[in-house]
Chains A and B, each alone.
Chain A
Amino acid sequence: MATETTAAEGSSLVFHPMDQFIVKPLFGDGAIAWYTPTNVTLWLFLAIVAVIGLLVLSTSKRAIVPTRMQSIAELAYGFIYKMLEDICGKEGVKYFPYVMTLFMFIVTANFLGLIPTSFTTTSHFAVTIPLALAVFLTVTILGFVKNGAGFLGLFWVSSAPLALRPILAIIELISYFVRPVSHSIRLAGNVMAGHAVIKVFAGFAAIAVISPVSVLAITAMYGLEVLVAFIQAYVFTILTCVYLKDALHPSH
């Protein structure tokens, strides 16, 4: 990115931390229509491959004593299953494939995004907003289907004094509709910020004196990003479970 700037001794130090998020067509450089195969397509496809490799190929032997990869698959399964069961109870287990799909997609996409020069699909709002909206719509529809008008009890805090309840209902209503926003921006924002910061540090590496510090900083940031990649997937999933619980048991 900055081979030229080394010669220029920082005078033309340029940062393009956001360039890594540009969507490009895979073949040619025409306009991007909705069906064009782009780098998004490629990395989404790799996420599918990773999920299949992790959960399907690794378990193909069905070993009683698991191999390393199989135990990772079992661990992921047990982790999400237990989370869902703890939060939503037995009725929640029905939605396990749905929650597991979200978790596996986000976690693999996040980790694939950590490969240098890769494209991070989960850093885009275009990816996280549909994910969050899907959760929001699922939960809302499920809530009304399961509980009918009783789902509105979610906004009517029956344990509060009667006079406060309408005010609380408004607050609850607003917070309910803010959910998909925070849900999606939290994930994309965390991933995007980390990747952009790494790129900024990489830009500083062009200056010979600063470059060791820069490399160290990149290493540290990378470690943090590994953590973030998992934690954000975890947070997204656990919030999905919590919202699902609201749909299944709306009473406060």
Chain B
Amino acid sequence: MATEPVYEEIAGTCVDSHGSAIGMPQLCFDWFPNQIFWLVITLVVIFLVLSRVALPRIAAILAERQGTITNDLAAAEDLKAKAVEAEEAYNKALADARSEAQRIAAEARAEIQSGLDDAIAKADLEIAAKAAESEKAIADIRAGALESIQVVAKDTAAELVTALGGEADAKAIDSAIDAQTKG
């Protein structure tokens, strides 16, 4: 170097007396054997380290990770399938329950309807019976009334006949009254 002027060296083919390079140090063939020797050693060492230790180890790590990922994915797929299954079962149960409820409701409705029909029929029957009874009562009353009218009319006619000074002929009055009331 320029700052070290006293540092004299034996000027070689590649380095001048100041320790500076003559031309390109890359082309100094004096150094080639040394560089090549150490390079070969370096490459052999790196190759051995890589092929024996580093690369199998990294390959194992990557394979293991890949395996883990694959397993996890498979497990996730499994769980997903289970979830879908569970959902299906749930939906099915729901549908079943719904149809059951509908069935029960229909049954109840039918039962109620039949009960109602029975009650209505019974009530109709009772009403008919009561109406017949009432009709009979009315007919009785009417018959009773007619008889009473005849009795009253006969009595009244007999009284009238005697009051007018006639002789009350019971037979004639009866037949006359009957003929009058028949119409």
Binding site for B on A (CB under 8 A): 1-5, 12, 14, 16, 18-19, 21-23, 29, 32-36, 38, 40-41, 44-45, 47-48, 51-52, 55-56, 59, 62-64, 66, 70, 73-74, 77-78, 96-98, 100-101, 104-105, 121, 123-127, 130-131, 134, 188, 192
Contact = CB atoms under 8 A, between A and B. Distances in A.
Given A22-B21, A23-B28, A56 B3 contact: no
6 contacts: A23-B28, A62-B57, A62-B61, A77-B59, A97-B51, A104-B50
A121 B36 CA distance: 11
Give 8 nearest A-B pairs by CB, closest first: A34-B33, A126-B35, A55-B54, A97-B51, A21-B25, A44-B42, A18-B21, A23-B31
Given A40-B38, A44-B42, A59-B54, A3 B31 contact: no
A66 to B, nearest CB: 8
B3 A16 contact: no
Given A19-B1, A123-B26, A126-B39, A77 B34 contact: no
Nearest to B31: A23
Contacts of A14: 2
Given A4-B3, A40-B34, 18 more contacts: A1-B2, A19-B21, A23-B25, A23-B28, A32-B30, A38-B31, A44-B39, A48-B45, A55-B55, A59-B54, A62-B64, A73-B54, A74-B61, A74-B62, A105-B42, A121-B35, A126-B36, A130-B39
Given A22-B21, A62-B60, A101-B43, A124 B34 contact: no
A32 B47 contact: no
Interface in B1-28: 1-3, 9, 14-15, 19-21, 23-28
A2 B34 contact: no
A104 B30 contact: no
A101 B58 contact: no
Contacts of A70: 61
Given A21-B26, A124-B26, A77 B2 contact: no
A123 B2 CA distance: 24
B104 to A, nearest CB: 57
A22 B34 CA distance: 13
B35 A48 contact: no
A59 B41 CA distance: 24
Contacts of B1: 1, 16, 19
Contacts of A126: 26, 31-32, 35-36, 39
Nearest to A45: B42
B54 A56 contact: yes
Interface in B53-74: 53-55, 57-62, 64-65, 68
Contacts of A3: 3
Given A59-B54, A78-B62, A38 B46 contact: no
Contacts of A18: 21, 23-25
B131 interface: no
Nearest to A188: B26
A216 B111 CA distance: 101
B38 A100 contact: no
B14 A22 contact: yes
Nearest to B64: A64
B8 to A, nearest CB: 11
Contacts of A34: 33-34, 36-37
A98 B44 CA distance: 10
B40 interface: yes
